[in-house]
Amino acid sequence: MTKKTSEKIVDYIKVTGPCTAKALAEQFSLTTMGVRQHLQGLEETGMLIFDDRKASRGRPTRYWSLTKKSDALFPDKHDDLTLQLIESVKVVFGDSGLEQLISHREEASKVLYQSALAHHASVLDKLHALARLRTDEGYVATVEQEDNHFWLLENHCPICAAASSCVNFCRSELQLFQWLFEGVATVSREEHIIEGARRCAYKVTPVTGLAGES
180 shares a domain with 110: yes
* Residue 211 covered by a domain: no
* Residue 214 covered by a domain: no
Out of 24, 50, 73, a domain closes at 73
Per-residue pLDDT tens over the stretch 142-171: 999 998 999 999 887 776 655 555 556 677
Q: What is the CATH number of the domain that holds 27?
A: 1.10.10.10
pTM for the whole structure: 0.56
50 shares a domain with 121: no
**Could you tell me which residue, 166 or 29, shows the higher pLDDT?**
29
Answer for the pair 157, 194: CB distance below 8 angstroms, yes or no: yes
pLDDT value at position 57? 83
If one counts every other C-beta atom within 10 angstroms of the C-beta of residue 1, the result is: 3
* Residue 198 covered by a domain: yes
108 shares a domain with 35: no
**Residue 142, beta-bridge partner list:** 153
Total number of domains constituting the chain:
2
In this predicted structure, the answer to whether residue 34 has a pLDDT above a threshold of 80 is yes
Separation in Å, CA 165 to CA 31, 81, 92, 98, 143: 51, 12, 17, 12, 28
Question: What backbone phi and psi angles, to 5 degrees, belong to 188?
Answer: -135, 150
Could you list the residue range(s) of the whole structural domain that residue 151 is in?
79-206
Give residue 148's identity as a one-letter amino acid code. N
The per-residue pLDDT of the chain, averaged, comes to 84
Per-residue pLDDT tens over the stretch 90-138: 777 777 877 787 777 778 888 999 999 999 999 999 999 999 998 888 8
DSSP-assigned states of every residue in 83-119: HHHHHHHHHHHHHHHHHHHHHHHHHHHHHHHHHHHTT
106 shares a domain with 51: no
Query: How far, in whole angstroms, is CA 25 from its chain's centroid?
Result: 36
